Structure 1
Amino acid sequence: MTTVLTPPSQPPPQSSAALPPTPPPMGADVPRPGPGEHRPPARPGLALAGAALCVLAAVLLGFAANLTVVGHLKHARDQQTSFDELRKQLALGTAPVGQRTFDGKTLGMGAPVALLRIPSLGLREVVAEGTTSGVLMSGPGHRRDTALPGQEGTSVIMGRQWGYGSPFNSLGKLTPGTPIEVTTGQGKAVYEVLGVRRPGDKLPAPLAQGRGRLTLMTASGPPYTPAGVLRVDAALTTPIQPSPPRPLRSGWISPAEEALGGDNGAWLAVFLWSQGLLLAALLTVWLHRTWGTWQTWIAAGPVLTALGVAVSGAATRILPNLL
């Protein structure tokens, strides 16, 4: 009797579609899904976190730019524009000599009123009307409720210590007897430095009738962290110029024009620019998922940077005006 051996049964072959995909080797590039292909589900929490990081980075970068490179460029541009305008007015005889223009209108905030020169410091700055934080971004400002330089009484000019051109950064180096020149629509007035006053120092003697004094003010303390107000007092050595009537009497200015005051009116601009920055950040996160990393940052990077500079520029107006 012959025994027939049958081979063991083999499992039916499986199709390649039923096999699990082979994982790529470690370190290999995983291709990104193209447009229209399946993508992992969106995570709103990660999207909001990414947008928040974009906003934070843009604002911090904007602050650094505004208080350094961009701020100095803005100061230089505004100074050149103001110098051209003041020189034109001096040539035409229409430069302001009081709180009103030559045709009787109230002098606007930021209008150029004088040219300040301190040869020992190499300083030449156009002085604008007003001392708000926004005005002092363009250069020194004249306190509106004081006399113009060259006239009877005390004239006060404020300027920033470090930000936006840092025009008054070296005031503390002035020594008694140093000349200060100020040119207005009434001519050139020359002052002689009496001394430098820091917080706690003795006040100067009251000003006698028929005399003039100039007080330059800036912040004291470390960079961008004002601790007080530094003042330089100088006595007028040239003849007194006539003083037109001043509708704005001493003390009739807003808190934003006081030393180390901030401009609370800038909050609206901060809010509006922040809304634009937030929308741009959310759009950037969405583009990153649908477009790609490099394409997104090439297109969105300049927009986020510009909006960050705009937000921080508006927010800088809220900070102390002398920093």
Structure 2
Amino acid sequence: MTAESSATDDTVVLPKVEEAPAAPPAGPSRARRIAVQTGWAATLLSGLLLGFGIFLFGLSPLQEMHYQAAAHRTFQDRLANAIAPTGAATDGSPVAIIDIPRIGLHDEVVVEGTTGRDLMRGPGHRRDTALPGQAGVAVLFGRGAAFGGPFGRINELRAGDKIQVATAQGQFSYTVNAYGTGAHPILDPDPNRMVLTTSNSDWIPTSTVLVGARLDGDPQDNPGGRPAIIAADHALAQDTGALAALQLWSAALLGAVALSTLAARYWVRRAAYLACTPVLAALLWAVYENAAALLPNLY
């Protein structure tokens, strides 16, 4: 055996080492996931707030208009059958029709009550005061911005302007003669008059605007026996009772969103959208309506 052969035989053959597979790319960090989730939550909240603004200033007037049309028919029918109220009435029921030509308010139905929900329907009569045309002081509240803002322009009224009102006891005319605010109420000794009340701002109301008017002619009898008002009837009050309803409607909306998501995933997507969209829209409307009830009632 030659020396060359011996060297070859002594060579150690090492096993081939396979390279380890490359590690998969690391997923997003916890901080990144939190940032993404926060961004989605902020976007959703912004969308809901924007939708609420659209509801207040774009859609709520349509709701008030729909109620006004129905209330006008109801009140005319009651007048024709001599059953329109002259004393205490059910909250939200029509009790009068008011016209203020100076500000373009025509055939507006006045409802009984001044809570936030009552004033979603139109101007409201404070239930512890006389009805327009009766002996005593009649106090009417009206929103300044949302739900049609029927009293949004009463600050344009001037002394001598006329206000016409029709009730079950006839038609009456008032003449504007005084102005005031929440801090400086109207002090008028005339026993038969009317006070219109609304908020002082379209954005963040902090006080009230008052317009006083005296009855032209003799008043009708006031039957009295009116109920006392509650906290939600006061100017700029909030209907805190709507909070529980808001929570329930919000829970229903979240449940409907979850079911709609599942339907879109496991059903025909277009059919799921067609079936779920009206339900979601109705629930969102209910959420916004109850949220609006938590705002000051003259807003």
**TM-score, length-scaled by structure 2:** 0.80
Given that residues 185 and 210 in structure 2 are in contact (C-alpha distance below 8 angstroms), is that contact kept between their aligned partners in structure 1? Answer: no
1:116 aligns to what SS in structure 2? strand
Deviation larger for 59-68 or 116-125: 59-68
Offset of residue 306 of structure 1: 3.0
Answer yes or no: is the 8 Å Cα contact 1:58–1:304 preserved in 2: no
Contact 2:123 2:141 in 1 (8 A): yes
Give 3-state SS (helix, strand or coil) of 1:195's partner. Answer: strand
Alpha-carbon distance in structure 1 between the residues aligned to 2:90 and 2:47: 33
The CA distance in 1 between the partners of 2:297 and 2:204, in whole Å, is 12
Kept in 1: contact 2:178–2:186 (CA 8 A):
no
- 1 CA distance for matches of 2:220 and 2:35? 67
Correspondent of 1:242 among 198, 206, 221: 221
Deviation (angstroms), 1:280: 2.4
CA distance in 2 between partners of 1:127 and 1:319 (Å):
20
Could you tell me which runs of 5 or more consecutive residues in structure 1 were left unpaired when the two chains were aligned. Answer: 1-19, 21-43, 100-106
In structure 2, the residue matched to 1:14 is none
2:67 to 70, 73, 78: 78
The verdict on how the C-alpha distance between 1:93 and 1:228 changes in structure 2, with shifts beyond 3 A counting, is same
1:217 corresponds to which residue?
Answer: 197
1:78·1:138 contact (CA, 8 Å) conserved in 2? yes
Aligned-CA RMSD value: 3.1
Task: Tell me the SS of whatever aligns to 2:117.
Answer: helix
**8 A contact 2:186–2:210 mirrored in 1:** no
Q: What corresponds to 1:141 in structure 2?
A: 124
| Alignment match, 1:119 | 101
Contact 1:62 1:313 in 2 (8 A): no
Counterpart Cα distance in 2 of 1:64 and 1:282: 25
- TM-score of the pair, normalised by structure 1: 0.74
Distance between the aligned counterparts of 1:53 and 1:284, measured in 2? Answer: 21
Match of 1:231 in 2: 210
The residue number in structure 2 matching 1:4 is: none
Task: Give me the whole-angstrom Cα distance separating, in 2, the residues matched to 1:243 and 1:70.
Answer: 38
Deviation at 1:318, TM superposition (A): 1.4
Q: In 2, Cα distance between the equivalents of 1:50 and 1:291?
A: 29
Provide the rounded CA distance (Å) in 1 between the counterparts of 2:252 and 2:41: 13
Q: CA separation in 2, counterparts of 1:198 and 1:141?
A: 18
The reply on whether 1:267 has 2:243 as its aligned counterpart is yes
Q: CA 1:65–1:202 in 2, change beyond 3 Å: closer, same or farther?
A: closer
Q: Distance in 1 between matches of 2:231 and 2:287?
A: 23
Per-residue deviation, residues 90-131 of structure 1 (Å, max 9, x unmatched): 1111111111xxxxxxx2111110011111222121000000
Partner Cα distance (1:266, 1:75) in 2: 18
Deviation per CA, 1:117-152, whole angstroms, max 9, x where unpaired? 111222121000000100100100000000011111
Cα offset, 1:52, TM superposition: 5.4
Between the aligned partners of 2:156 and 2:270, the Cα distance in structure 1 is 50
- Indicate conservation of the 8 Å contact 2:183/2:207, yes or no: no
Offset of residue 238 of structure 1: 1.9
**Counterpart of 1:281?**
257
Check the 8 A contact 1:55/1:281 in 2, yes or no.
no
Q: Which residue number in structure 2 is paired with residue 321 of structure 1?
A: 297
1:297 is displaced (CA, Å) by: 5.8
Residue number in structure 1 paired with 2:170: 187
Residue range with higher mean Cα deviation, 118-127 or 128-137: 118-127
CA distance in 1: counterparts of 2:39 and 2:185, whole angstroms: 54
Q: 1:205 offset after TM fit, Å? A: 3.0
Contact 2:105/2:150 (CA < 8 Å) preserved in 1?
yes
Residues 40-94 of structure 1: CA deviation (Å, up to 9, x unaligned): xxxx999987995796366435412331222111111111111111111111111
Gaps of 5+ in 2: 1-21, 23-32
| CA shift for structure 1 position 289 | 5.7
- Structure 1 contact 62–309 (Cα < 8 Å) conserved: no
Higher RCO structure (Cα 8 Å, ≥6 apart): 1
**TM-aligned CA deviation for residue 263 of structure 1:** 1.0
Cα distance in 1, alignment partners of residues 267 and 36 from structure 2 = 15
Output one character per residue of 1:166-201: Cα deviation in whole Å (capped at 9) or x when no partner: 101110000001011111111011110012223444
Q: Percent identity?
A: 38
